[in-house]
Amino acid sequence: MVPSLIVINGPTAVGKTDLSIELALKFETEIISTDSRQFYREMSIGTAKPSKTELEKVPHHFINNRSVQEYYSAGDFEKEALETICELFSKGKSHVIATGGSGLYVKALCEGLDEVPEADLTLRKELITNYENLGLLWLQNELLKINPNKLSEMDANNPQRLMRAIELEKQGGIIKKETKSRPFNIIKIGLKRDREELYTRINERVDLMMKLGLLEEVKGLLTFNQLTALQTVGYSELFAYFNQEIDLERAVELIKQHSRNYAKKQMTWLRKDLEINWFHPDMQDEIITFLLNFA
């Protein structure tokens, strides 16, 4: 019997963690995190990591395994995650669960990565200077002029990703490579909710993060606020608050807004993958039946 990697996809706050734990318990297996923000030890509340209780229920891999000061690429993750998965299969696991909202890291795990041009340091310096002088809107408009479709597919509030996207477009784009074969089956499950239901969950999650101490977590990271890993939703907005650019109420509103925007972009990315089998998160019995009948 060929072992299977079950990949749980879906937008932020849809319920991937709960389902992944239930499936891991059902199949007596372990979980691979494909959420690039959860790799970092210093980022916990704002990345919605599984709780201590949840981590104790099921072994998780690639959570708290890096510092924000370390460089860790999707290519690094692909190599290490494949080694971990194959090791679990060699120990007799028939299934392994992978879950997380970072589309690039899911793609790296399932298909391998496309060939990306090396960074143009001169161009990057120019973009950084323009960003510092002209702001985020300039980056958005620059990418919009080059490739309007690209802007609609990505996190348009992340300056680091915007700069990299502009670089790639100006260097001729990504060279598409053939999908790499994997020595195991890949079964993709997608979770989706009605937009109003999902957005309510996102807003409630942000409120809970604030109650759990997100403000203090971000305060403790102020000395690292220029690092790429921290240029992300939930952190950049509170850095702006600490820099006295906006008040706290506005910062929380922006976290909710940017989280909703991110969820929309995640769904745009996921809908392109025709291999995903879609379910509502409450359909756990149906999902388990589907997986047991998968051939």
228-258 per-position pLDDT tens digit: 889 899 999 999 999 999 999 999 999 999 9
Confidence of residue 162 (pLDDT cuts 50, 70, 90): confident
Q: Quick one: CA dihedral 181, 12, 277, 153, positive or negative?
A: negative
CA distance linking residue 102 with residue 11, whole number of Å: 9
Q: What percent of the chain has pLDDT over 70?
A: 96
Most confident of 115-124, 164-173, 283-292: 283-292
**In 135-247, which ranges are continuous DSSP H helix?**
136-146, 148-153, 159-170, 195-212, 214-219, 236-242
Query: Is-contact 217 242, C-beta < 8 A?
Result: no
Report the predicted TM-score, pTM, of the whole model to 2 decimal places: 0.82
Q: Quick one: CA dihedral 144, 146, 147, 151, positive or negative?
A: negative
Query: Is-contact 131 163, C-beta < 8 A?
Result: yes
Q: Rounded to 5 degrees, what angle do the CA atoms 43, 48, 50 make?
A: 100
Query: Is-contact 96 85, C-beta < 8 A?
Result: yes
Q: How far is CA 278 from CA 159, 187, 286, 289, 291, in A?
A: 32, 11, 11, 14, 12
| Among 92-101, 171-180, 193-202, 220-229, the least confident range | 171-180
CATH number of 4-113+177-293: 3.40.50.300
Query: Is-contact 209 26, C-beta < 8 A?
Result: no
Structure token digits, residue 274:
């025709």
**What does the pLDDT read at residue 206?**
98
Q: Rounded to 5 degrees, what angle do the CA atoms 90, 94, 96 make?
A: 90
Strand, helix or coil at 273? coil
**What does the pLDDT read at residue 248?**
98
Closest CA to 278 of 4, 6, 8: 8
The answer on pLDDT for 78 being more than 90 is: yes
Domain extents for the chain?
4-113+177-293, 121-170
pLDDT (tens digit per residue) in 185-217: 999 999 999 999 999 999 999 999 999 999 999
